[in-house]
A and B are shown apart, each in its own frame.
Chain A
Amino acid sequence: MNSQTRPAVVLASNRIPFARSNGPYAKASNQDMLTAALDGLIAAAGIAGERLGEIAGGAVLKHSRDFNLTRESLLGTRISPETPAYDVGQACGTGLETFILTANKVALGQIDSAIACGVDTTSDAPVALNEDLRKILMEANSTKSNADRAKLLAKLRPGMIVPEIPQNAEPRTGLSMGEHTAIMARDWGITREAQDELAIASHDRLAAAYEEGFEDDLVTPYLGLERDQNLRPGSTLEKLGKLKPVFGGPEGTMTAANSTPLSDGASAVLLSSEQWAKEHGLTPLARFVDAETAAVDHVGGRDGLLMAPAYAVPRMLARNELSLQDFDFYEIHEAFAAQVLSTLAAWEDPVFCHERLGLDAPLGSIDRAKLNVKGGSLAAAHPFAATGGRIVGNLAKILHENGGGRGLISICAAGGQGVVGILEA
């Protein structure tokens, strides 16, 4: 077995603009959107017909017919059908996890090239059969005699026609992700104003990125949409201050503006070894350095649902002998402004760092000017599994344009999980 590793580098990325739920992509399936994102990437990188090492992808909300979503999407693109593919699932961490998996394989020399991708739709979400109805139908299916079958079907009741609609709730707590985050916001004393400020900056920075052409080679128009539909630059604290809280009760601080909306979209990242890049005349934008995943006990423990990145980052920093301040850019996924602010507060807190991380001193604060410099999920929106690819592609380009540097990625995920990584250029 190979005990040597080699750098895995990011070469290009592509995504379709993210749309709001039941908007322009209402009729597009996960496979449609993922195929579009892959096609855009293949065209931009000029790798049509290439056989890649593999493509890893995933979707958080997936129809059962999409059991081979990535492979089926791949077959609809101009990449070589001899490219293998598999689906990955780690809730909102899926997109980044596909990148980590494929980058590790490149680093180990098991593959030379890969695409990491993700997609999600909340418009065409998988609606399941009512559980009672499903049981009767399954039984009827395996019953031989027509009389028995008729008997079974006579058990059908009108109520069984009501389908099971997927819920945005944590199975073990019954609380929505927003309600969980509202608890974190309260526990960390996060103000409404601080959340709204982060949301305004996110929109203004993403709008500026579009204006200056930064997004031109990252985003390919799709179904009439050229920019992220959720983007609303030029807002003010006063305007956002008028919105009613949506989570945390009447005293809550979380609104539609400082929480990400349900949305649809897809993204894909091309990565390879340095050798493969050279052979294909492609310029490496950034190098994968390391990654870490963590999970918290959000059911019985004291940590909030989305606090796992607060654990993952310090573990990764320690392994790489880095401090939190040793970064030029920070890409922290804005699932909710309160998630980002709670995480930053935790890293500044001597109690959290000592008690829960076992550190002698707090990690400290970060220079907020380096945070989500081209906007974040609050502006772009957050089609769950597509966010990782958006962030990796974004950061790789930022580092490349900067002529070098180090960037941190942090993504929180359902089930109390967190996925984080480091890129360098």
Chain B
Amino acid sequence: MTDTYSALVNNPVGGFVAKNLGLPKPVPLDRYVEGAPLIDGAVLVGSAPGGRLGPSVATILAGADAHVDSRLDDEVRSPLGAAGVDAGVWNPEAPGSQRWKGLVFDATGITSSEQLRELWSFFHPTIRRLAPSGRLIVLGTPPEDCTEPRHATAQRALEGFVRAAGKECRYGATAQLTYVAPGAEERLESTLRFFLSPRSAYVCGQLARIGAGKDVPGIDWERPLHGKVALVTGASRGIGEAIARTLERDGAHVVGLDVPPLADDLEKVVSSIGGSAIVADITDPEAPAQICDELQAKHGGVDVVVHNAGVTRDKTLGGMDEERWSLLMDINLSSEERINDALIERDLLNDNGRVVCVSSMSGIAGNAGQTNYSTSKAGVIGMVQSMAPVFAERGATINAVAPGFIETQMTAAMPIGPREAGRRMNSLSQGGLPVDVAEAIAWFASPASTGLNGNVVRVCGQSLIGA
């Protein structure tokens, strides 16, 4: 899809105009290409005194063969050394011209608001040294897991820091916060990798919570879904197609689902990735049983279920007929609940299973003309949160991504005013691509993401709406 505004402001004259009108200048974002290293540049690692994630971070970076630096007097150098990371030294007082692609700070040692100064100490001399499409990552302890009120207060404060830093990051760089519950240190890897890599290109200012869960199995990070079966609804086009292709790239056998009128398109997509198709309308009362039957017969179960199929039926509430409301609610929410229930009832979700739902920014912020849509997408978030313990009991997880403005046929059809506003009103000053949503889904879908359950992560470039 051509983004006319980007093309315009990235040419000299347009750029001049954009600058003088105070319009943001979007930069092309780094995106993952198969076989590329985890991160294309050095990572500076730091720790507040007493941090507990140093060993995990060191082991992950060692495994990814990343070039790592730290301050010489940083506690994190001991775990780095122990993990076999031949880390370089950086001294803010002799800064040189060093630049980093990633800044990772373990803030778990911060137990009081006074100690929040550690954030300043680490990031003040370094944030301007973050390369284009760089990654600023803060690791903390979930406030709900802190017994001391001051500890919880300080850890909650990290959220404000990351959200503000995300807005200050330039040239396509992003900022994220990850809360790692005590005892969940070993489950950090899939999340740290996702946030460091260009796979998280359009994710900014987000918070992931890593908690209890199964032990992380050994996986091949190039093909984490090798041997897994993934069901993707609405797979014939748009975001669903990108999800199908991305999960296949990660090693999965993809079972794509779409409505009968799109059967040909669906067939094209799944046959190009060696997958299989289920033609069904998910609102059909027989659909859950049909899906279960096919998965059971052909694959004996399913490892990953992606609830992507969704529609908009926009109208302000006063002018909205009942059908617009009910049909949308059935497609976007109720049918997903029924499919989940059927899979649970028939015990078809394999061990270490994953359910990943596609919510929306509108479900968080609410959108005029979309009372039905916003209700359904907020309901998806509700479903993720309410079902998380149910899936946890079965050794599975359920999470959601909430896309912001994604360049698809749906958004291309919007009138220019709202479309340009939607594209630009975020920290990255551009719309995301379907693959950006797909990468976030692949992260939740990874067998290594055992500690992520009940999370809702936005893929919105840190939209100003509904922040």
By the criterion CB–CB under 8 Å, are B94 and A351 in contact?
A: no
Chain A residues with CB under 8 A of B87: 351
- Write the nearest CB–CB distance from A2 to chain B, whole angstroms: 43
- Write the nearest CB–CB distance from A117 to chain B, whole angstroms: 38
Count of interface residues, chain B, beta-carbon cutoff 8 Å: 20
Stretch at the interface among B74-82, B261-269, B444-452: B74-82
Most buried by B among A185, A353, A355: A355
By the criterion CB–CB under 8 Å, are B89 and A354 in contact?
A: no
Contacts known (A253-B94, A350-B77); A355 close to B86, Cβ less than 8 A: yes
What separation, in Å, do the CA atoms of A51 and B283 have in the docked complex? 109
What separation, in Å, do the CA atoms of A348 and B78 have in the docked complex? 11
- Write the nearest CB–CB distance from A199 to chain B, whole angstroms: 16
A32 touches B (CB below 8 Å): no
By the criterion CB–CB under 8 Å, are A355 and B81 in contact?
A: yes
The 8 A CB mask of B78-97 against A (1 = contact, 0 = none) is: 10111011111111011011
By the criterion CB–CB under 8 Å, are B96 and A186 in contact?
A: yes
By the criterion CB–CB under 8 Å, are A187 and B89 in contact?
A: yes
Partner of B86, one of A190, A191, A192, A302: A302
- Interface of A, helix, strand, loop or mixed by DSSP: helix
- Write the nearest CB–CB distance from A101 to chain B, whole angstroms: 35
Partner of B72, one of A188, A192, A353: A188
Partner of B81, one of A185, A188, A190, A354: A354
Most buried by B among A186, A253, A348: A186
By the criterion CB–CB under 8 Å, are A348 and B88 in contact?
A: no
Contacts known (A186-B96, A251-B96, A350-B78); A355 close to B84, Cβ less than 8 A: yes
By the criterion CB–CB under 8 Å, are A191 and B94 in contact?
A: yes
Chain B residues with CB under 8 A of A189: 71-72, 89-91, 93-94
Partner of A345, one of B82, B89, B96: B89
Contacts known (A189-B94, A190-B91, A191-B94); A349 close to B82, Cβ less than 8 A: no
- Write the nearest CB–CB distance from B65 to chain A, whole angstroms: 14
The 8 A CB mask of B40-84 against A (1 = contact, 0 = none) is: 000000000000000000000000000000111000011011101
What separation, in Å, do the CA atoms of A192 and B96 have in the docked complex? 11
A368 touches B (CB below 8 Å): no
Chain A residues with CB under 8 A of B71: 189
- Interface of B, helix, strand, loop or mixed by DSSP: loop
- Write the nearest CB–CB distance from A165 to chain B, whole angstroms: 32
Q: Which of A233-263 contact B (CB under 8 A)?
A: 251, 253
By the criterion CB–CB under 8 Å, are B97 and A188 in contact?
A: no
Chain A residues with CB under 8 A of B84: 354-355
By the criterion CB–CB under 8 Å, are B86 and A356 in contact?
A: yes
Chain B residues with CB under 8 A of A348: 72
Closest partner residue, chain A, to B78 (CB atom): A350
By the criterion CB–CB under 8 Å, are A349 and B91 in contact?
A: no
- Write the nearest CB–CB distance from A366 to chain B, whole angstroms: 15
Chain A residues with CB under 8 A of B80: 350-351
By the criterion CB–CB under 8 Å, are B94 and A355 in contact?
A: no
Q: Which of A179-230 contact B (CB under 8 A)?
A: 185-193
Chain B residues with CB under 8 A of A350: 77-78, 80-82
By the criterion CB–CB under 8 Å, are B94 and A354 in contact?
A: no
Chain B residues with CB under 8 A of A253: 94
What separation, in Å, do the CA atoms of A191 and B91 have in the docked complex? 8
By the criterion CB–CB under 8 Å, are B91 and A187 in contact?
A: no
Closest partner residue, chain A, to B82 (CB atom): A354
What separation, in Å, do the CA atoms of A405 and B192 have in the docked complex? 52
- Write the nearest CB–CB distance from B63 to chain A, whole angstroms: 16
By the criterion CB–CB under 8 Å, are A192 and B81 in contact?
A: no
Most buried by A among B71, B81, B85: B81
- Write the nearest CB–CB distance from A401 to chain B, whole angstroms: 35
- Write the nearest CB–CB distance from A300 to chain B, whole angstroms: 15
Closest partner residue, chain B, to A345 (CB atom): B72
By the criterion CB–CB under 8 Å, are B96 and A351 in contact?
A: no
What separation, in Å, do the CA atoms of A130 and B80 have in the docked complex? 52
Chain B residues with CB under 8 A of A302: 86
Chain A residues with CB under 8 A of B78: 350
Closest partner residue, chain B, to A248 (CB atom): B96
Most buried by A among B77, B80, B97: B77
By the criterion CB–CB under 8 Å, are A351 and B91 in contact?
A: no
Most buried by A among B72, B80, B93: B72
Partner of A351, one of B81, B90, B93, B97: B81
What separation, in Å, do the CA atoms of A186 and B87 have in the docked complex? 14
What separation, in Å, do the CA atoms of A354 and B83 have in the docked complex? 9
Most buried by B among A188, A189, A348, A352: A189
Chain B residues with CB under 8 A of A352: 81
By the criterion CB–CB under 8 Å, are B94 and A186 in contact?
A: yes
By the criterion CB–CB under 8 Å, are B86 and A251 in contact?
A: no
23 example contacts (A-B, Cβ-Cβ < 8 A) are as follows A186-B96, A187-B88, A188-B89, A189-B71, A189-B90, A189-B91, A189-B93, A190-B91, A190-B94, A191-B93, A345-B72, A348-B72, A349-B77, A349-B81, A350-B78, A350-B81, A350-B82, A351-B70, A353-B81, A354-B82, A355-B81, A355-B85, A355-B86
Q: Which residues does B use to contact A, with CB under 8 Å? A: 70-72, 77-78, 80-82, 84-91, 93-94, 96-97
Given contacts A191-B91, A349-B89, 8 further A-B contacts (CB under 8 A): A186-B94, A189-B72, A253-B94, A351-B81, A351-B85, A352-B81, A355-B84, A355-B85
Which 8 A-B pairs rank lowest in CB-CB distance, beginning with the nearest? A189-B91, A354-B81, A350-B81, A351-B81, A350-B78, A355-B86, A191-B94, A350-B77
